[in-house]
Structures are given as structure tokens and as C-alpha cells.
A = this chain, B = another copy of it.
């Protein structure tokens, strides 16, 4: 028999029974806890007790009709669940009692059930109308708008590509065996080649659109699919194809570039040797011109002189080989030569030995290998001869007379690759952040001991501090790399040396940022982050090597610093005494503003949030580091210390300058970008990200600013507090911000990100 109305005593138990039976929660433990509560509850009379205890029989559960009636009793009341109540279910019961019977006390016995069973609102909130109090995410901003801002002029290419990637061949899976993994990645690269994505950066004649920024934008998206795919794609189209495009001439383009862009001709970029990685100029492979046969003889002289870590080595039929070009007994320096590696049956050609590099920390879908050349003969025209050629009379000719300059001009063509490496690493960081933030918006852990519902881990200040500044930095670096790619692709800009310096520094700073961020995300997701299915593990293994390849970060930062120094020296030397004086005056001004205690003690928010302050601090740092570096080197050289030794002595100073310069550059580019955002509300949000980036960076290097007297102690502390406060202020928008990265839903396969 089913009751249709309930007494007040019974009524207050209805929500509990409804929760328990709806979720099949009634186990032995529940039964005994509830039995005891009912038995001990003095507000219940004997009939009520009998009725309630009768509903606890697991072998003879209440009928569906009964449960439906409970539900109606609850919905008719229109009472809402308030998750933030200390005892949400007990309070709910009390209000239900009030509604149906006019007056009902808060029942401590019900509270006893709630505590002992530890049932939390997230267990049952789907059963009731919920009064939303604490929002997970604010509706103020729309992720699509942010995404559009980031896509910028690449919107069409990116949108089309995101859709394209939503097909089974690009679906993510765990691959442990390198052979099958490589086979899959090869197939993916071939599909992309066929569809014209590989050639995107080439001229139209070779299947492309000559749109490097769009190429870089789609490249970034491959990281969301798989790191190995991104890298193999970059090797085939960016490095191998790119070397033909940038170092070769018309004849090479005509013969090879179309096929390379379609992945019909698979190739590799054979620069690094076992003995020489960072020091490319010291590579040992020789390409000796033999006049009699009008050919080049490619040779690996010693045991550590083989090519190594060459991506695509096992699938390629051709390689761009970097070697010391020897013509008529004279070493003309490093040049690239196209060398066929395999015959039609994919067997290595005579004189060529290729070995697998084996398993790696990550990127096991990329077939890295070692290559040896034993007196391998190729025709003279295989020399990629844009910057240096062997003429018909057998003599060497280059329009760039200075071998040093020639070398750096050739290597300068790699700059585009470095931008892509930074973009790839950044994409890894975006993906990890998206996963970690979404997890933190679902995961609850710990609570106030008097409250039933546990807290979202995204609501912990430490968690906000771990993730939010990184989200802000990802925005800043995205915009920075987009701008650098534009500048790099702009042929109107003649001298590319400046951009080389910029890219060298930013590649280092951004790949390190990406690795640190991915690690933080792994830890922020706890044990879940360690499971391969949740993707962060692979991102960590894959992105790790980005700090090393296409230029080791420590080496690149020194390169950047030397570039800055050359500019500085030019400034110092060009206009003679006047300019030196002017320079010193600038230094002096910096110094003055430093020791001005009003400035270094200024802690009001208006000042700390003012872009002028950030800009001044960054500029001051770069200039001061440059100046003191130049002075230190000059003093060493004055004492007769050779410049090589002098540079060794200031190595850590060089690294500091390289980083400072890169951060200043990123902030400047981002600030300019902010001005272009038309919508005021979105501009404010974007600017807040820039502010958080700036303050977080200043905070990270506060030791230096304090040492210089640029910050007083109070200011440094105030900046730390502002970083924490901004992280908390951005809390309601954190989900929108990561959604703004635009990672396609089909690529967000991590179960914890759903």
C-alpha cells in the first residue's frame, strides 16, 4: 500500500530516502546508519518509525510508485537545493517540512545520516532543482570571441583545419610499439601532404599558398592530435622541404619541391652529428668535389661523425645533408647537399648505412635514426646552391664573400623552424592547461569540517596560483609568436638578423615555459595526470626535447645575448663620442629613477597595474644587463683575456640578458595587441592577462630588481600579493580562458577533461 500524504515526521526523511533509493546507495552500511537514526529519533512516533524502517528492506524495496510519489512531493514544493548550505540535505528536508506542514525544526538526527554516510551534493544534485550560488564559470565572456582574437588573420585556415582533423585517422590512441606507431604517423603525414597542408608555406607553383603564418597555425594544431605527428610533419615539410625551398634554387624547386610538399618524396634533414649538435659549424661530414667525375663525394670520416637523431631517417628516400664542402682542397664551410638514401625497394643505396635511434622519452612515433656515408657520390647539381655554388669550371663561388656571414645566412633560414618549435611547445602547454583547469573544475577534495560538500580544487588559492599565471603567459606568448611569424614572413623586412635574435631568445623562454607548465599541470591533476589516457604524460615526454632541438636553449640564449650586444656595440660605436655620452645619460636616468625611494616604494594598485610601470621595469632590466655585460667584457679584454675566455666568464650574465630581452619583447608585442582589441570588455580581460604576465615575471625575477634597488621590499611583497589577487579575480573566467585556446573538442580526449 502506498501512502499519498505523509506526516511531518515521515516527510522530513523523504529527501534522504529519495536520494538513497534513486542511486541504489542502500548498502549494509547505509542501512545500519539509517536504522539507528530512525530508532533514536524522538520526533518520530511508533507508526512513523515502522513506516520508515519498512522502506529500508533491501530484499523488499519500496515500489516505484512510492518513489515517484516522493519525487512529486519534493517537486511540488518547488524548493531548491542550496549546495553551499552546511548540511545541504538536512536543510532541504527542513524547508520541505516547512512547505508541507508549516513548521519544521532542523533535525540533528538527519544531520547524523548526512555526516556518517558522507553523501555530498555532487552525489545527488542531479535529483533536485539546484539553487546556483557558487558559479563554476561566469557567463560574462564567450570563449569563441577569445578564440577569434587568437586566430586573427588565420581564422579561415584554422577553422577549416580543425574540421579536417575530426576524422578517425587523427583520433588519439596509446601506442607503445614504435613500429606500429611510426606507421600510423607516416600515414597521417601522407594524408596531410596529399591534402596540401604540407606545402602551405611554399609558393603556389609547388602546391602551396606561400602563407607561412597559416602553416604555423595549422602546425600548432597537430600538437593537439599528437606530438610525433607534429614533429614528423615539421621534419618533412618544414625542414626537408624547407631546405630545398630556402637553400636550393629553381632547378631544385622544380624537381623536388612539389613532391616533397605532397609527401611523395620523403626526406630528412641531416644536420646534427653524434659529435656535433649545438656546434653546427664543427660538423665533420665532408662533401668533396671531384672534378673528374663532376660529382660530390659525401663521407663520414670518424666514428662520432655520423648523422644522428635524424627525424624521418627510416622512411626517407632522400636527405638534405649538411657537410663541409671541400672544393679544390679548400674547405668552403658547411653546405647542404641532396643525397638519395634508398632505392625503389626502400633498400639503402651503396655506401649508406642507416640505424634506428631506438626508443626515446617521447616522440616514439618519429623514426629518428643515425646515418653514415661511405664515399657516396652525387651529381654536382645536388648541392643546394642558393648561397654557394660550384661553377662549371670547378671553382667555388658565393655572392657572400665572408664565410662567417655565409654560414649564418644559411642557418638563418632555420628561423621559421624555431618559431614553429616554440608554437608547438606552447600548444602542448595550452593543452595541458586546458586539461588541468577542467579537471580542477570537477575535482573536489577537502572541506571545512562542518560542511558536507567538498571544495573544488580550482577554488584553492594555491591551485589558482599554479595555473592562472600560466594561462595568462600562454596568451601572451601566443600573440608574440603570431607577430614574430608575420615579421619573419614579411619579405619587405630586409635584414633578418634582428628577428633571429628575437626568435633565439623566445624559443628558449617559451619551450622552458611549456615544460614547466606541463609539469605543473601533471602535478595539479595528481595521480590522474600520471595516467597516459589523460594525455599530459605524452605531452610531457614529447615537449621535453623542444628545449634541445632546433638549438639548445642555453646556446640560443647566448646567441640572443650576443645579438643584443652587437646592436649595443653598434649604438656605442657608430656616432662616436656624442652617442656614448647619450647612452651614459640614459643609464644615469635609469639609475636615478631606481634610487628614487618614492618610486621603488610605490605600491598603490594604480601604479602596479599600470603598463608604463611594467614597460619601464622590463626596459630598465634589459638595458642595465646589456650595459653591465658590455662593461664586464670590456674590462676582461682590457686585461688581455681573450674574448672567447671573456665570454665564458660572463656566461650566466648572457643567459640572464637573453631571457630579460625576450620577456620585454613578448610584453611589448602583447601590449600593442591589446590596443587592437575593439570590444572594451574583452580588451579589459586581455589587458588583465597582460598585467598578470608582467607582474608574475617581475615577481619571478624580484631578486634582481631588489638587488638593483629598483624595488624596495614593500614593493616586491605588494607585487606578490597582486599576482595572487589577480589569479583569484580571474577564477570565474578561467574555463572561458582555456576554452579560448580553441582546442577542438574531438582532440580533448582526456577523460578528466570532459
Interface of A with B (CB < 8 Å)?
23, 25, 27-30, 32-37, 115-118, 123, 174, 176-178, 272, 275-279, 282, 284, 286-288, 290, 297, 299, 301-302, 308-309, 324, 326, 328-331, 357-362, 375, 444-449, 454, 460-462, 465, 515, 519, 522-523, 526-527, 529-533, 536-537, 540-541, 544-545, 547-549, 552-554, 642, 644-645, 648-649, 651-652, 655, 702-703, 706-709, 713-714, 716-717, 724
Contact = CB atoms under 8 A, between A and B. Distances in A.
Contact of A29 (B326, B540, B549): B326
B709 A35 contact: no
B118 A361 contact: no
A75 B693 CA distance: 66
A375 B59 CA distance: 14
B360 A28 contact: no
Contacts of A642: 448
Nearest to A363: B530
A522 B541 contact: no
Contacts of A548: 523, 526-527, 529-530
Contacts of A531: 357-361
A527 B297 contact: no
Nearest to A448: B644
A504 to B, nearest CB: 16
Contact of A527 (B272, B515, B536): B272
A37 B328 CA distance: 11
B526 A277 contact: yes
A544 B527 contact: no
Given A36-B329, A530-B544, 20 more contacts: A25-B301, A28-B286, A28-B288, A32-B329, A33-B331, A116-B331, A118-B324, A358-B532, A359-B532, A361-B532, A449-B644, A461-B651, A462-B651, A530-B545, A530-B548, A541-B541, A702-B706, A702-B707, A703-B716, A707-B713
B174 A278 contact: no
11 contacts: A27-B299, A28-B290, A29-B286, A29-B326, A32-B328, A123-B302, A359-B533, A361-B541, A462-B554, A465-B652, A523-B548
A183 to B, nearest CB: 15
Contacts of A447: 282, 644
Contact of A33 (B28, B326, B537, B553): B326
A216 to B, nearest CB: 24
Contacts of A526: 277-278, 548, 552
Contacts of A276: 445
A479 to B, nearest CB: 27
Contacts of A297: 27-29
A652 B462 contact: yes
Contact of A706 (B454, B522, B703): B703
A299 B117 CA distance: 12
Contacts of A324: 29, 118
B37 A279 contact: no
A465 to B, nearest CB: 6
